[in-house]
Each structure stands twice: as C-alpha cells, then as structure tokens.
C-alpha cells in the first residue's frame, strides 16, 4: 500500500467516525416531525422551527414538504436531513408514522445505524411504535427513547418506563428525569451531572429555549417538593436495574430515556448531545453473501428510497442511497450491481427536507441524492471497481388492499402509464398486471388504504391524470410457485393471479374460505404463504 492510499483510507475512516445516521420513529401524532425540526434548530441548521400545521407565524416543518403532509399534519413519506453539529455530521431520517406507510419506514430503518423512539407522554407505547420497535430489535438497531409532550397532562414517568420493561422487555436507563408531573414541567434532572436544567419559553417555541443550570442545593431550595420527587423516582428506577450501561444500549437490550417537549424545544439539546456521544458510528456492513465490507474499501452504497416531485419545476427523480464504504466523489462512474451497467453520478445533491444543494464528496454513513436516476430502483447496489458487491435487497411487504386504477380521461393514457410506472418504481404502491386485465387497467396493491389516496393525488398533481380507483374484494394473498397453476386459479371464480413489477406472481383470494375451498379441490396447488411484512 502506498502512502497516498494509506492516507486516503485514514481519511475515510476518520470521516466515517464523524457521522451519526439515525431515524426517528413513532406512532402518528407523537411529535416526530416536530422533534426532527427541533433537533435541526438546536444544531443551528434552522434559524426558526416550524410547526406541523404551520400555525400562527410559524411555517410548516422542513421534513413534511408534500402537499398532503402539510394539509393533514402527518408524515406520509420519509425525508432526509443532513446538518453539522459541533464536529459531527448528522444524517437524520424522518419516517412516516402512519401504519399504511410502514413499508417506507422499513426501508429507512435498513439505512440507519440507530433510532430515536418517540413516545407521547399521555399515550405511551402505541401499536405502530410497537411494530417499529420490533423491526429495530430484528435488525439489532440501538434505540434511544425520548418521552415527549411533558408540557401537557400525561401519565406518570415511572408508569411510562414500566411499559418499556413490561411490554417490550427493554430496560429503561434514565439519563434525564422530569421535574414536575406531566403538564407542570419545570425542567429536567440531568442524572449525569446531578443538576436541574430549567427552560424559558420562547414565542411559539420557534427558537431554541434558553437553559439555566441549577446545582442540587439551589434546585432543592427553589422546587423542594418537585426536586425531591424527581430524585426519588430516578433513583428507584436506577436501583431496579436502570443504571446506565453503554454496552446494553449498543446490544439493544436497554434504552437510554430522556424527557422533554419538542414543540417548545425543551430537552432537545440533551438528546442531540447524547446522539453525538453515544449513537453508533458507521460500521462494516454485511453484503448479500454475509461478508463484512470494510469502511475503507472502494465506494459502495445501496438505494433505499426513490422520490419524484421534490422539485415541481423539473419533476426530476431522486434516488436516495446510503453510502456504506469508500469515498464518493461527484462525477465518478459506478456500477449498478442489479443490471451490471455503469451509472454516471454527474448530478448529486445533499438533501435537507425538500431543499437541495450540490454535493461533491460523501463518506460512509452519508445519504446522497442521485438526481435523474431513472435507471435506479429501491434495493439496487452501486459500487466502484471490481469485484462486484451487492447488499441484501429490500423486500416488499405483503399487500392487503387492492384496487383497479384507470384514467378518467382516456386521452391522457400516455401520461397515465408513465405515472403508474413512476409510482411503482418508488414503492408508493405495488403495481400488478395480468394478460386478462391488460396494461390499460393495472391493479394497485397496498399495505394500507391511505397509499391509494397518495397515489391518486400524485397522479393528478404531478402527471395531470385524474383517476378512478375501483376496489377489488381480495383480502388474502399468496405467492404462486407453480406458474402452470395460474389457469386453475383464474378459472375458479374464487381468485386471480397478478404479476408484480419485479416478476413475482401473486395469487389473490376474496377470503380464507375461498382459498380453503380451492385448495381442497386442488391439494397440490402451487402456492405459499407470504412472510408477513417481508414479501
């Protein structure tokens, strides 16, 4: 190895260790987009924080830029924000909270090294939070828990921590503890310094809240009852197994816990500092063969999201890729491992919500936006040089809702086909077709019905094609493993076979009864159960 090569490898490793790439996950309405905004504000990446609905003088949040997101106040697509904090580069991925968009969230979680699990102080662990945590546990993703909305009435702090240990077997390790019950928030007890951190409200919470640190003696003098209760509760949890242990966080068996109010920017700095200090650095990721690819090996990345319509003026397509190894330089020609074809990276951008700027260099942990990347699909691997490398593909979820889609204006058939193909390539919906129905009447398949609303809205808004969606009665889906059995299913009157864009044949049935009748009539029918959430 030459001195130049050794210096380059050292540079890659050094820069990778400066990266923190994490996702924020939660149930809808827990304050996820608000927290994302507050983190960017404390890092001085924003001069003022927006609000989910943009009320009063506050603009909308940076990560919710789609028109439907702004109108409904929920995240329906993931968003990437990159910014610097101290000497660290933050790659923050905001995820959809609604369960109908869990497939998008799953893809995002494949691209991060850790996660922040956000809980509503009044509601605690909710169904979608539980599902997302299961994905984190399956992928061994370390989780920091931030209990939000402490400025409003809610549950007791100890009860919320008990939920973590009892419902998901995750030991809470408190690092801050609220002084004052939910709805009467005086500040947090920082367990590592022993001090009380108090906050001052700002106008609408649009700017960072000023903090004052009080030592234990002054805290006890000014808030004797609340401070004593905070000390007692935190000590009780620590003595019952909640003493902080970085190894337990790293192996995802325990979670650091912090309290705050994201909308007021209370407790957010402590979370940001903890992420910089504690969250895992990028590491050598396993390729499809299980071999770890070192950070300092030649450039490689995988595409975890494709998005069109971020720039209404150009309607360009952006492929989001997580850099796994090497140094990326704009203009380099890489290979798409899926097709074996070269891909020129002339137009590459750094993303901050909808805002974009030209990016010249990126390192492991970074998320890059490849513009006009019509040849790329979710799950593709990009790499430099030989031998080829390929990371595990990103699976499609088992759909549970189906609808025939057709343009209301047949004169817009060309735009309709282009729009349908685009939505399918992004994974907004799965697109199914069959010879019997023909290409003119594709079928949309979705995990949840709200995906249909998003697809219809985007077809009209971006492609000028209003569409009609006719729901199909199917609720049971199986994988067809014997192609010759397609005719048996199609002619049975109990179901039909449709082919997904990736070539997978899916057998759809109205219900389990219809499936049972057909399998009794044809015991050797070549179908298999889809693995829930992964096929």
Neighbours of 83 (CB within 10 A): 17
By C-alpha distance, which of 379, 362, 280 is closest to 327?
362
CA 365 – CA 189 distance, rounded (Å) = 33
Measured CA distances, 77 to 53, 98, 105, 382 (Å) = 16, 10, 8, 23
Q: Which of 358, 366, 376, 383 is nearest to 318 (CA)?
A: 376
Q: How far apart are CA 300 and CA 374, in angstroms?
A: 19
Q: For CA atoms 7, 9, 14, 16, give the dihedral sign.
A: positive
511 labeled part of a ligand binding site: no
- Residue 455 · residue 463 · CB < 8 Å: no
97 is known to lie in a ligand binding site:
yes
335 among the known binding-site residues? Answer: no
Is the Cβ–Cβ distance between 257 and 157 less than 8 Å? no
Whether residue 98 is annotated as binding a ligand: the answer is yes
- Of the CA atoms within 13 Å of residue 299, those in its CB half-sphere come to 22
Report the helix count and the strand count for the chain, using DSSP H and E.
Answer: 14, 31
Report the DSSP pairing between strands 333-336 and 341-344. antiparallel
Distance CA 311, CA 463 (A): 14
To the nearest 10°, the Cα dihedral for 24, 28, 34, 39?
-10
Residues 6+ apart with CB under 8 A from 471: 401, 402, 403
Q: How many beta carbons lie within 10 A of that of residue 461, not counting itself? A: 15
3-state secondary structure (DSSP) of residue 372: coil
Q: How far apart are CA 141 and CA 24, in angstroms?
A: 12
DSSP per-residue codes, 121-159? TTTBS-HHHHHHHHHHHHTT--EEEEEE-TTS----HHH
96 is in an annotated binding site: yes
Cis bond before residue 387 (omega within 30° of 0): yes
**Cα(122)–Cα(454) distance, integer angstroms:** 30
Q: Are 279 and 88 in contact (CB under 8 A)?
A: no
Task: Pick out the residues of the known binding site for GTP.
Answer: 94-98
Binding residues: 94-98
């Amino acid at each position: 190895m030459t001195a130049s090569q050794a210096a380059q490898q050292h540079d890659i490793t050094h820069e990778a260790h400066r990266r923190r790439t994490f996702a924020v996950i939660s149930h809808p309405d827990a304050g996820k987009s608000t927290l994302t905004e507050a983190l960017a504000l404390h890092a001085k990446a924003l001069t003022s924080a927006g609000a989910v609905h943009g009320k009063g003088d506050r603009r909308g949040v940076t990560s919710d830029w789609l028109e439907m997101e702004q109108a409904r106040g929920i995240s329906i697509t993931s968003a990437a924000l990159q910014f610097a904090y101290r000497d660290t580069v933050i790659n923050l991925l905001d995820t959809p909270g609604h369960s109908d968009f869990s497939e998008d969230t799953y893809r995002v979680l494949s691209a991060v090294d850790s996660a922040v699990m956000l809980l509503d102080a009044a509601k605690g662990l909710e169904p979608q939070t539980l599902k997302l945590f299961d994905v984190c546990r399956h992928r061994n993703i370390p989780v920091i828990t931030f209990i939000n909305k402490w400025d409003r009435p809610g549950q007791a702090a100890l009860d919320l921590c008990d939920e973590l240990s009892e419902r998901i077997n995750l030991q809470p390790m408190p690092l801050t503890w609220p002084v004052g019950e939910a709805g009467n928030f005086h500040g947090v007890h920082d367990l590592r310094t022993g001090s009380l951190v108090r906050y001052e409200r700002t106008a609408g919470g649009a700017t960072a809240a000023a903090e004052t640190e009080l030592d234990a003696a002054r805290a006890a003098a000014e808030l004797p009852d609340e401070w004593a209760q905070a000390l007692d509760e935190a000590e009780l949890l620590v003595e019952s197994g909640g003493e902080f242990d970085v190894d337990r966080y790293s192996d995802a068996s325990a979670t650091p816990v912090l309290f705050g109010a994201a909308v007021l920017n209370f407790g957010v700095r402590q979370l940001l500092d903890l992420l910089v200090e504690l969250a895992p650095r990028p590491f050598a990721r396993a390729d499809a063969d299980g071999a770890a690819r070192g950070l300092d090996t030649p450039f490689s990345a995988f595409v975890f999201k494709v998005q069109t319509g971020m720039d209404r003026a150009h309607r360009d397509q952006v492929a989001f890729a997580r850099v796994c190894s090497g140094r990326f330089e704009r203009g380099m020609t890489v290979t798409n491992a899926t097709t074996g074809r070269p891909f020129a990276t002339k137009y590459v951008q750094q993303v901050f919500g909808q805002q974009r700027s030209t990016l010249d260099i990126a390192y492991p942990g970074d998320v890059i936006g490849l513009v006009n990347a019509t040849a790329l699909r979710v799950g593709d691997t990009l790499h430099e040089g030989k031998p080829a490398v390929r990371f595990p593909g990103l699976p499609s979820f088992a759909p549970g809702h189906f609808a025939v889609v057709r343009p209301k204006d047949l004169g817009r058939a060309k735009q309709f086909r282009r729009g349908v193909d685009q939505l399918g390539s992004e994974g907004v919906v799965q697109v199914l077709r069959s010879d019997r129905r023909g290409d003119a009447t594709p079928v949309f398949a979705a995990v949840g019905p709200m995906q249909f609303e998003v697809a219809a809205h985007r077809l009209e808004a971006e492609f000028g094609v209003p569409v009609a969606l006719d729901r199909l009665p199917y609720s049971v889906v199986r994988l067809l493993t014997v192609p010759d059995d397609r005719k048996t299913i199609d002619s049975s009157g109990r179901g039909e076979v449709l082919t997904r864009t990736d070539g997978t044949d899916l057998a759809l049935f109205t219900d389990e009864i219809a499936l049972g009748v057909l399998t009794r009539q044809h015991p050797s029918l070549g179908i298999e159960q889809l693995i829930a959430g992964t096929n």
